C-alpha cells in the first residue's frame, strides 16, 4: 500500500463502504479464469483481498491476461516484465487498461490505476475483470478459456426490419400507454359545483 496513514471520520466510512463491496467468491472465480486463460505457470495468489491485490499489483498477470485474448503474436502489450519499481508497475497496469478499452470495455467500467496499485477500490478491479470475461465469452472467437457460465451473458443486438405497410399500420393504433378512448363520453355530465348566483 501507499505511505498513507489511517483514515478517520467520513473518509473512513466511505472506505469501509467500498471495502464491503469486495466479493471473495468472485475473487475465486476470477483467479480460476485468469490462471486458466494465462497458462499454468502463474503462481496462485494468497486468498483474500490483500493477496489478490498483491498478485495483480505489478501488472504482469493483467498484461498476460489481455494478451491471451488475442491471437498469438498479436497481443496489445508488447513488453511484459516483472519489476519492483512503482512507476513500472503502474505503467503496466495502465497498459492493460488501455488495451482493455481497445478490446471493447466501456471507459466507465474500467478501474483507475491507483484503485489497484494502492488497493483503494478492489471491488472496481473485480468489476472490470468481470466485464472483460463477459466480453471475451460474447466475442466467441475461440480464445476464451474456461467456463462461460462464470460470467454474466452480454446482451446481443436483435435488429428487426418492418415493411412500410406494417409501419403505417402501427401509426393507426393508440398505445395503451397513452390511455384508451373507448367507453369515454360526456353523456350525463353536469357542470361542477354551484352555478354562479347573480342577484
pLDDT in tens, 140-180: 787 778 777 787 777 777 888 888 888 888 777 766 666 66
Is the pLDDT confidence value at 1 over 60?
A: no
Q: Are 111 and 94 in contact (CB under 8 A)?
A: no
Residue 90 lies in a domain: yes
Residue 187 lies in a domain: no
Query: Is 160 part of a structural domain of the chain?
Result: no
Please report whether residue 195 resides in a domain: no
Do residues 82 and 92 touch, judged by C-beta distance below 8 A?
Answer: no
Q: Which residues contact 11 (CB under 8 A, 6 or more apart)?
A: none
**Residue 93 domain-assigned (yes or no):** yes
pTM above 0.85, yes or no: no
Q: What is the pLDDT of residues 58-90, one digit of tens each?
A: 888 888 888 888 888 777 877 888 878 888 888
Per-residue model confidence as pLDDT tens digits over 13-60: 777 777 777 778 888 888 888 888 887 778 888 888 888 888 888 888
Looking at the structure of the chain, the number of domains it has is 1
Q: Which residue has the cell 400507454?
A: 177
CA separation for the pair 104, 100 (Å, rounded): 7
pLDDT > 70 fraction of the chain, expressed in percent and rounded: 83
Using a 10 angstrom Cβ sphere, with 0-12 exposed, 13-18 middle and 19 or more buried, the burial of residue 113 is middle
Domain residue limits at 57? 9-150
Classify the C-alpha dihedral 88-90-91-92 as positive or negative.
positive
82 neighbors 54 (Cβ within 8 angstroms): no
Q: For residue 180, give every residue at least 6 positions away whose Cβ sits within 8 Å of its Cβ, in sequence order, or none.
A: 174
pLDDT category at 184 given cuts 50, 70, 90 is low
What's 130's domain CATH number? 1.10.418.10
pLDDT digits (tens, 9 = 90+) for 92-142: 889 989 988 998 888 888 988 888 888 888 888 888 999 898 888 888 787
Q: How is residue 68 written as a grid cell?
A: 491471451
Residue 188 lies in a domain: no
Mean pLDDT of 173-193: 66
**164 within a domain of the structure (yes/no):** no
Q: What percent of the chain has pLDDT over 90?
A: 1
The helix, strand and coil proportions of the chain, stated in percent and rounded to the nearest 5, come to 50, 0, 50
Q: Specify if 52 maps to a domain.
A: yes
Amino acid at each position: 500500500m501507499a505511505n498513507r496513514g489511517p483514515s478517520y471520520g467520513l473518509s473512513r466510512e466511505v472506505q469501509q463502504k467500498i471495502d464491503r463491496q469486495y466479493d471473495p467468491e468472485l475473487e475465486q472465480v476470477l483467479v480460476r479464469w485468469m490462471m486458466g486463460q494465462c497458462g499454468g505457470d502463474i503462481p496462485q495468489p494468497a486468498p483474500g483481498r490483500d493477496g489478490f491485490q498483491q498478485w495483480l499489483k505489478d501488472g504482469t498477470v493483467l498484461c498476460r491476461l489481455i494478451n491471451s485474448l488475442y491471437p498469438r503474436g498479436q497481443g496489445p502489450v508488447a513488453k511484459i516484465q516483472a519489476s519492483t519499481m512503482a512507476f513500472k508497475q503502474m505503467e503496466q497496469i495502465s497498459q492493460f487498461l488501455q488495451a482493455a478499452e481497445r478490446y471493447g470495455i466501456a471507459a466507465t467500467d474500467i478501474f483507475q490505476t491507483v484503485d489497484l496499485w494502492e488497493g483503494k477500490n478492489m471491488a472496481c478491479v473485480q468489476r472490470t475483470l468481470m466485464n472483460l470475461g463477459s466480453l471475451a465469452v460474447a466475442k466467441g472467437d475461440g480464445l476464451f478459456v474456461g467456463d462461460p457460465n462464470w460470467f454474466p451473458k452480454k446482451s446481443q443486438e436483435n435488429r428487426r426490419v418492418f415493411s412500410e405497410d406494417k409501419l403505417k399500420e402501427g401509426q393507426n393504433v393508440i398505445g395503451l400507454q397513452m390511455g384508451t378512448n373507448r367507453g369515454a363520453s360526456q353523456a350525463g355530465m353536469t357542470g361542477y359545483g354551484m352555478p354562479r348566483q347573480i342577484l
